[in-house]
């Protein structure tokens, strides 16, 4: 949204605004998700996916978003989003919070 606003401001007002260059890194443990975001092919299984995900793909293609694979045992967000075994929970909590 910020990038779009800066581009619109530059078109609307004839002042020189230097548009910042934002890059975002996404760490993903789902290889199917990475494949869908980085390739342009459609299949019957992916045609139902909402338009906003195809919009995400355009940012990946323009190199504003980079997707990196991360092992599922190192995915810190899992301790906040899904039930985990005690050992994995404590390991992820230690990596996230330091205790």
Residue 3 CA to residue 39 CA, distance in Å, equals 24
Residue 1 has pLDDT above 80, yes or no: no
pTM: 0.67
Q: What is the dihedral of CA 10, 16, 20, 21, to 10 degrees?
A: 80
What digits encode the pLDDT tens for the residues 39-77? 877 777 776 776 667 778 888 988 889 999 999 889 998
Residue 17 has pLDDT above 70, yes or no: no
Would you say 72 and 29 are in contact if contact means Cβ atoms under 8 Å apart? Answer: yes
Strand partners, 68: 27
Residues of the chain with pLDDT > 90, as a percent, come to 28
Handedness of CA 53, 56, 61, 65 (dihedral sign): negative
Predicted confidence band of residue 89 (pLDDT cuts 50, 70, 90): very high
DSSP state for residue 19 in the 8-state scheme: P
Predicted confidence band of residue 31 (pLDDT cuts 50, 70, 90): very high
């Amino acid at each position: 949204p910020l990038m779009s606003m800066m581009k619109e401001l530059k078109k609307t007002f004839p002042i020189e605004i230097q548009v910042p260059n934002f890059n975002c890194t996404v760490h993903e443990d789902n290889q199917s998700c990475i494949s869908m975001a980085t390739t342009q092919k459609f299949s019957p299984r992916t045609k139902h996916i909402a338009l906003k995900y195809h919009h995400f793909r355009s940012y990946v293609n323009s190199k504003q978003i980079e997707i990196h694979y991360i092992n599922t045992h190192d995915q810190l967000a899992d301790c906040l989003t899904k039930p985990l075994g005690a050992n994995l929970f404590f390991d992820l909590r230690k990596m996230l919070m330091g205790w």
